[in-house]
Chain A
């Protein structure tokens, strides 16, 4: 009885307080959340929040001098030039987004590219983040790649960051270097993170401190015009770290760290623009949306061939469980690379280093 009347009192007080709620403040955010261009030539877009760059992919039939972007924004925000206005994209165009309350703004650069490139050379690198917390980002392939660096930068200004460029390359100037580094205790979640594994993947990263597996948003739109993926090739060298530790940081005797290198093709809804329907660190291995995989493993590394400069060349066939059906679905491709294959569970060996260069998806016509 007493607890009932107390509960009633609490409800009354909560309701009374709610009557003091003021009008909702105007939105302060100024993001471009989605972009496409009008017409059938649109394939997909990539929005890089790290450097405010947006790339729109169109088929080779598109007239780049006259494209009409359709832009979706944070609620209430406005953009200039406006959405729905035809522009010449021979060169990148700047778009300024202003928040609903008018106090915050962001400037994006939108560029347009014909077709999606399936060759990855890891040559073009940049930096993102605030001063004192600058972390490396990979710019190649129009920001299609993401890393976990931004998540690491939230908790520590790492040196080195788990994913960086290296001049120890197979071809060109740079290759991607993924290394497993020492983690730290995250008091906000009460989690001890023994390691941060180097990671690099086609998709987006949105740091989720409470469930890191969900930080990964894997997948970039795949175009029918690219043909049917047959093999996944590239060059790598891998050195496992000395001591493998479990998720609590305890050494596991006799266990040797392994890298992961794989490509996955999965279906998404027809008409999907590319900014929804990702796989994450869990579903990439379990989802029934997956139609094909090309996965490196030590067992299948018989296809590995030692080549120059300590690099091995791998050639992995895609194994299909379902055929493409562009009439019914769109498709996304992701490539996932990690210096510790169980790094997303925080298991691995500090010092494990994976260097990759010149990856390519080889295709045949449909």
Chain B
């Protein structure tokens, strides 16, 4: 519910900005554009830990980005920019793992079975963020612009769950009691342990097709681990690493 309120407020601000830009339309240095794109990437440890033995499939899901950019030109070449975007990020990965540390919630009173899992794993990530970037811009020419900067994001919702199957778990330690997990498998859900903000670096560029319409691409790399360090349920340090491609529409 709270996240809907934020989305609504965001749309309101966007509309207001559009209005504002209409008023300042001839004051050249300020450049406002709307953007619509798609996020493709992963919430993953990098490099891939040795525990991951094989990626069987990867589904980037349908993850839109929508928002606006405001770029202030300092001179012909250089500028600074900011904006706001609503980002859906997520993925579904099926892989084979060996000794992946995990814990499955067994009962309503939150009894957890923790240990080292060997077998097949499916991880599903679904998140929405409100992202504020700050970056510098450089114009190579009328058409090409490069960007480099940082971003901060507020997590509006975050789901990190999945299941393990066709394998076994050694409880507590790799030489602990062996627990077969096959058939339908066992589910895990670490959504509650995910960080409620993200912060990282971004880089990208934009190609202007016409005065109004352009294409953009960017890469955002989260620098803070996806899980709070005290509660990290799966040993690996996961980061949000997502690329975005889309179109921009500049208001004149």
Binding site for B on A (CB under 8 A): 9-10, 13-14, 17-18, 20-25, 28-31, 49, 99, 104-106, 129-130, 150, 154-156, 184-189, 206-211, 214-215
Contacts and interface: CB of A to CB of B under 8 A. Distances in A.
B107 A184 contact: yes
B55 A188 contact: no
A211 B176 CA distance: 21
27 contacts: A9-B60, A10-B58, A10-B60, A14-B55, A14-B57, A17-B48, A18-B54, A21-B52, A22-B47, A22-B49, A25-B98, A29-B170, A29-B175, A49-B177, A99-B175, A104-B174, A104-B175, A130-B172, A154-B106, A154-B179, A184-B107, A185-B108, A207-B180, A208-B182, A208-B183, A209-B179, A209-B181
A189 to B, nearest CB: 6
Interface in B42-76: 47-60
B48 A207 contact: no
Contacts of B54: 18, 21
A214 B179 CA distance: 12
Given A154-B177, A155-B113, A187-B108, 18 more contacts: A10-B57, A13-B60, A17-B58, A20-B47, A24-B98, A25-B98, A31-B175, A49-B177, A104-B175, A130-B176, A155-B111, A186-B107, A189-B187, A206-B180, A207-B179, A208-B181, A209-B179, A211-B182
Interface string B180-223: 11111111100000000000000000000000000000000000
B166 to A, nearest CB: 10
B58 A13 contact: yes
Contact of B184 (A9, A13, A31, A210): A210
A208 to B, nearest CB: 5
A335 B183 CA distance: 27
For the complex of A and B, 4 pairs with smallest distance between CB atoms: A28-B174, A210-B183, A22-B50, A25-B50
| Interface residue tally on B, bucketed by range | 35 or more
B152 interface: no
B229 interface: no
B180 A187 contact: no
A24 B174 contact: no
Contacts of B49: 22
B129 interface: no
B242 interface: no
B174 A29 contact: yes
Contact of A208 (B51, B98, B180): B180
A210 B182 contact: yes
Contacts of B176: 130
Contacts of A31: 175, 178
Nearest to B170: A29
Contact of B59 (A10, A156, A210): A10
Contacts, number: 116
B173 interface: yes
B26 to A, nearest CB: 41
B104 interface: yes
B111 A156 contact: yes
A28 B57 contact: no
Contacts of A10: 57-60
A210 B185 contact: yes
Interface string B156-182: 000000000000001111111111111
Q: Which of B54, B60, B106, B184 has the most CB of A within 10 A?
A: B106
B34 interface: no
Q: Which of A13, A187, A188, A207 has the most CB of B within 10 A?
A: A188
Contact of B175 (A105, A154, A185, A187): A105
Contacts of B184: 189, 210
Contacts of A13: 58, 60
Contacts of A49: 177-178
A150 B177 contact: yes
Nearest to B48: A20
A156 B107 contact: yes
Given A28-B175, A29-B174, A208-B180, A155 B50 contact: no
Q: Which of A18, A105, A129 has the most CB of B within 10 A?
A: A18
Contact of B108 (A24, A184, A214): A184
Contacts of A129: 177
A185 B107 CA distance: 6
B53 A21 contact: yes
B227 interface: no
Contact of B187 (A17, A20, A21, A188): A188
A215 B53 CA distance: 27
A207 B176 CA distance: 13
Contact of A28 (B52, B58, B99, B181): B99
Contact of A188 (B53, B183, B186): B186
Contact of B105 (A20, A188, A206): A188
Contacts of A18: 54-55
